[in-house]
């Protein structure tokens, strides 16, 4: 009787462990790592950039390819106007900036035709020379999140399976807001700079060794050249660096020293 009881307990424990293991969420893909995308990514915004001399094994470039403005039922297309000079070996990430009511002051209709127009224009950046990844930069308001979610889902379905899809994220999204959890992206890059009212709170939190709660926000982070930051993140996390002027040799040296 005692032996049978032990066997029953052991069997129950084994089933419990198996069920526990099977219920663990599978790690979500990170196509940037799969494609060996460099760990330091320089954001190149709408200004002339000469980055021919960077080490393509260490640096990638995320360049603003276009700005798409949602205004009423329209999508206003504003392509990049400034030159970007890089070596053929440099991996590029094409960034699409989406602006809506926050920037324009006019409510966007958020219609299905608008979404399809956005997807069509974003897919065109995938065809640009040397583009190895796509990034969306959209500070979506709460009322725009379902539209944004649908945009990302439809975009992911139309991209090649091995093409990384990245998004930027306000740092506040990553601290206590779980709406990012099931998005079909490879990373959400928390922008730890120009944070306004949240600046000191979030920087103090990260300085203690705390991390962002959202797993997608634990793969990379964004900083600015001119904002010192004390972080305790692991060294394998991808770093995006913003510069509010054209990149110079001095800026690149400064970043190289900060990110060892």
- Mean pLDDT, to the nearest integer, of 26-49? 92
Rg, C-alpha atoms of the chain:
21
Give pLDDT, residue 235: 83
- Mean pLDDT, to the nearest integer, of 170-184? 85
Q: Does any domain span residue 129?
A: yes
Residue 253: strand, helix, or coil: helix
Strand partners, 222: 191, 240
Give pLDDT, residue 17: 36
Query: Do the Cβ atoms of 173 and 179 come closer than 8 Å?
Result: yes
Q: Does any domain span residue 32?
A: no
Indicate the number of domains in the chain. 1
d(CA 218, CA 216): 5
Range of the domain at 239: 38-258
d(CA 178, CA 58): 32
- Mean pLDDT, to the nearest integer, of 146-157? 97
Q: Does any domain span residue 199?
A: yes
Q: Does any domain span residue 19?
A: no
Give pLDDT, residue 102: 66
- Mean pLDDT, to the nearest integer, of 49-63? 96
């Amino acid at each position: 009787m005692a032996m049978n009881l032990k066997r029953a307990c052991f069997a129950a424990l084994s089933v419990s462990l198996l069920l526990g293991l099977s219920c663990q969420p599978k790690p979500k893909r990170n196509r940037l790592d799969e494609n060996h995308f460099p760990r330091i990514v320089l954001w190149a915004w709408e200004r002339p950039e000469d980055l021919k001399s960077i080490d393509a094994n260490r640096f990638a470039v995320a360049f603003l390819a276009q700005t798409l403005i949602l205004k009423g039922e329209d999508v206003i297309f504003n392509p990049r106007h400034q030159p970007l000079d890089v070596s053929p070996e440099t991996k590029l990430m094409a960034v699409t900036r989406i602006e809506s009511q926050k920037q324009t002051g006019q409510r966007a209709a958020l219609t299905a035709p608008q979404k399809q127009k956005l997807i069509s224009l974003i897919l065109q950046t995938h065809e640009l020379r040397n583009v190895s990844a796509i990034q969306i930069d959209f500070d979506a308001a709460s009322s725009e999140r379902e539209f944004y979610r649908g945009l990302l889902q439809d975009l992911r379905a139309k991209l090649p399976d091995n093409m990384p899809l990245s998004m930027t994220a306000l740092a506040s999204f990553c601290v206590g807001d779980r709406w990012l959890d099931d998005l079909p992206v490879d990373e959400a890059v928390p922008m730890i700079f120009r944070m306004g009212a949240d600046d000191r709170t979030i920087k103090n939190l990260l300085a203690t060794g705390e991390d962002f709660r959202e797993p997608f926000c634990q793969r990379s982070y964004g900083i600015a050249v001119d904002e010192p930051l004390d972080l305790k993140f692991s060294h394998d996390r991808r770093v995006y660096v913003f510069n509010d002027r054209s990149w110079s040799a001095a800026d690149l040296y400064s970043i190289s020293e900060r990110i060892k």
